[in-house]
Structure 1
């Protein structure tokens, strides 16, 4: 069953992708092995995160980007994340109806992920979901979040390029600073740019970017105007995103990003493996519990024994001055 589902995903089968993503959300038995089987086939998709305040037109912008990417011959995956509700399923659901140009296109896949209150689970589901779409051959994956809080900032950490969307006259520039989004944005977008005050919002953002602390060789964050409903400025936005990905490759930032995300995934896998083996009913675990209960050992020693760790493999910083 596992091999068949993995093969379906690698072939870009929509049904296979949907089934595996559902299994990921449920953390179904065997799903970790399925994700592991896909890993060697990942690493080619450009992951673009889209965030900003409600009403800024993120979903419409995601639709416009998907349409333009398809016009350029690139396949697209879309993951919409709703960190606030277990029921709404994410704002992108409404765009499934509006994205008529993409209806029935086998090279576009759209999925919503709801957290159901589990922020850590959300992060893992998002990362695994990105791997599925990457392995399925999507050239670009658009990751949309609903709000502008810390959860969104954390989620954007898995994206290669982060787009922060603002709209004219809503004080979004100040809101971006409060939410910490000024620093995480790789491209600022002022959407609904045909509305009054668009140029002022662009100027405010550019002024704040100039005043922000910059490091040597840092990416020069652009501010791009768009009108997603009119498909205006979208080509230019994609050009900026492509330019950012190229800059990441040139300066080794992409490798650093991959390394950080890989470290997180190794830790998650280790935790999941340990939790699977360390539970009542597993003979070794039950025996260790008995040893602790009878005071023949302590919990830390029992845990290290179960995990195969020894004092020699865990140096004490106090006795190793070169560390720390």
Structure 2
């Protein structure tokens, strides 16, 4: 819709007067304006003419909102917002003030943007995290997953009611059962409650650390982010090719800081004892059981194990 100013500017004075009268007549017949006049009898024809631009914009925005084509195609001058009128009585007359208010779709988008700002991912497909989550779909996708899903839902509910606990979850199951999806859902739901979160895909993270050793500041910033975020998810731990430096100085440092402070979450194809065996072996030094046990002492006591059963859903999400 063209603005009233643009409309009036394009007309000659005689045509302008005719058009002004037409707009005034249309507004007088508009149900929204009639409702305003019913509530505020002081809004007479003179007040309408004095506030023609505001009323015209108000009526136009409301008409667009009634036939909303979606936020991306919003035809209002200020996308995602509509004109709202504040009317004040002063000494027997009324003053009409116009302001822009966000619509419900804009409010939802703003809230979602704020949630996304609280979530960071390293080496995880951003598209997968941004697709959104559906509670009913999570429950109905595979009934074998129901016990694990209930445990995750309970964790989310308890955290929202009681605040962060230093205990996290260790989600274990076979390939493609939706472990990453379920942990992403947990992080997304708790981000709504104001918590910051980081999710790290371990195989790519460990591989990239080999080159990151040359950039000490980048490595430091990443490690500090992982240490201090409210929620930290190590996705697919056990699938990485560990070296002693990553295990003992990077992963060990992060977990040593977080234990008894902040919850850490894991997805893995290994059960806890299988992960201990994996962490005890590095490509450089071979098997070092005591070092694997040392790291597991920073994992196992601080998680509740969630066994995720179900069919391989790869390609179905």
- Normalising by structure 2, report the TM-score: 0.25
Q: Which has the larger radius of gyration?
A: 2
Structure showing the higher strand proportion among its residues: 2
